[in-house]
Amino acid sequence: MADDTSPPSDEPWFVRWRHAVVAAVVLAAVAALSVANRSDSSTPAAASTSTSSTPDTVVIDDVTSYTLSRTLKDGMKGDDVKRVQQRLKDLKFDPGRIDGIYGGDTMMAVWAFQAVVLNLPYETKSDFVTPVLWDLMRSDVVVKPRRQKSTPTHVEVYLREQAMVVFKDNVPALITHISSGDGKDWCEEVVIDPGEEGNKGKDRVVRGECGKSVTPSGVYYFYMRKYGLRESGLGTLWNPVYFNYGVAVHGAMNVPKYPASHGCIRIPMFVSEYFPALVQYGDRVFVFDGVKEPEDYGSPPPYFNGVDPNWKPTTTTSSSTTLPGATTTAPSGAPKVSTTVPSATTTVVPIVTTTLPTSTTTG
C-alpha cells in the first residue's frame, strides 16, 4: 500500500526485508497449494473443509517502527490510521475503536495529545496527523502529573489546553479531550431532575434560569455520582461525577475543540461509559486555568443560576419523572483541601524537541 513505508535503514536486515520475506512465503504457499490441488483433483470436495492455520493478515506489534508518508485527515482510512490509533491507545489517549478510520473520536484523541504533550492551547491544535506529529507520537513519550503529591488517584483538568488526565499513582490511566465553560452569560428554559443542584424535591422542575458559563479553577474532590441521563440547571449530563456542587465531569454528544459548556467538564460519550469506574469519592481534582496555580484559588464555588424574570412556560407537561434506581449521596466526611502550592512538576516529553506557539490565551 502507498501509505506503508520501510522502517529506518539502521534496523536489522530481517526487519527491513520482512515484507519481502512474507511475500515470498505467501507466494510459495500459493504455488504449493496449486500443485497439490492439481495432483489431488480426484479428492472429494468434502476433504477441503478443514480450517487453514495460515493467518489472513500479518500483525506487526511495534507500530512505532513505521514512518508516515501522508497527512491523515478526517475520513481517511488505512493501516497507517490504525497504527496511529493503536499508539494513542497505548499512551492512554483513548481514540475509540481501532478500526483504521480517522473519525471524530480519533481526532479528539489527537487534540488531547497536542494539549498534554505539546502544551498547546485549544486555539492552536490541529485536526490532522502530519508525519512530524506522528514522529512525536512514536517517540519516548512520558506524561507526568503537575501534582505528584496527592490522593493515589487524582484528576488534573487543563482549561487552557482543554484536556483532562486521570492519574493513578502518578501514572496516566486516561487522557482525554474536554470542553469546559465558555464564560458566556445565558438565560434559557432548564429541566432539573430531583437531586440535582436547585431541586431538592421529588418532582422534575421546569423553569427559566439565567447563569454564567464558568468552570472555576481550584482544588476539589469527587463527592457524588449519578448513572445514566440526568437533566440539570447546567444542561443534559450523562454518567456525571460531581466535584463542585452541580459542576461535574460527564459525557456529552457534543465535545468541540473549544470551551462550550455551561460550566461542567464535557468528555466524549464513549469515555464517560467507564470514567466513573476510574475515580471514587474523595479523589482530588485540580483545575488549572493557565494563569495561577489551583491552590491560589482554594475551592471557589461555581456561579449559581438565578431565576429568569422574563421566562414564560412554552409547554404544558407533567412535572413527575421516573428516576434511575441508583442515586448516591455525598459522603459525610470531606477530605481536607491543601492550599499549599507544591514544587512545579509538569508534563515531560523526553528526547522530543519542538518549537511551540507563543500564544498564551487561556481557556
- Distance, first Cα to last Cα, the chain: 41
- Predicted pLDDT of residue 62: 81
Q: Exposed, middle or buried by CB within 10 Å (0-12, 13-18, 19+), for 93?
A: buried
The pLDDT tens digits of the residues spanning 125-173 come to 999 999 999 999 999 999 999 999 999 999 999 999 999 999 999 999 9
- Predicted pLDDT of residue 61: 57
- Strand-strand pairing, 265-268 and 247-252: parallel
- Predicted pLDDT of residue 315: 61
Domains and CATH numbers, the chain: 153-307 (2.40.440.10)
Is the CB of residue 255 less than 8 Å from the CB of residue 335? Answer: no
52-57, long-range: CB within 8 Å, 24+ apart, which pairs? 54/29
- Predicted pLDDT of residue 203: 96
The strands making up 306-307's β-sheet, listed across from edge to edge, are: 185-192, 205-212, 306-307
The C-alpha atoms of residue 277 and residue 177 are separated, in whole angstroms, by 18
Alpha carbon separation from 264 to 40, 200, 233, 332 (Å, rounded): 70, 20, 11, 23
The C-alpha atoms of residue 159 and residue 289 are separated, in whole angstroms, by 5
The contacts of residue 4 (CB under 8 Å, 6+ apart) are: 19, 66, 69, 79, 80
- Predicted pLDDT of residue 314: 78
Give the pLDDT of the chain (363 residues) as one tens digit per residue: 444 444 444 444 334 444 443 444 434 443 433 433 434 444 333 333 333 333 343 344 588 999 999 999 999 999 999 999 999 999 999 999 999 999 999 999 999 999 999 999 999 999 999 999 999 999 999 999 999 999 999 999 999 999 999 999 999 999 999 999 999 999 999 999 999 999 999 999 999 999 999 999 999 999 999 999 999 999 999 999 999 999 999 999 999 999 999 999 999 999 999 999 999 999 999 999 999 999 999 999 999 999 999 999 876 544 433 333 333 444 444 444 544 545 444 444 444 433 333 333 333
Provide the 3-class DSSP secondary structure of residue 101: strand
- Predicted pLDDT of residue 147: 97
The contacts of residue 179 (CB under 8 Å, 6+ apart) are: 162, 252, 254, 255, 256, 257, 258, 259, 260, 261, 265, 266
Task: Return phi, psi of residue 108, to 5°.
Answer: -65, -35
Q: What angle do CA 283, 182, 346 make, to 5 degrees?
A: 45
- Predicted pLDDT of residue 291: 98
pTM of this prediction? Answer: 0.73
Task: Return phi, psi of residue 285, to 5°.
Answer: -125, 120
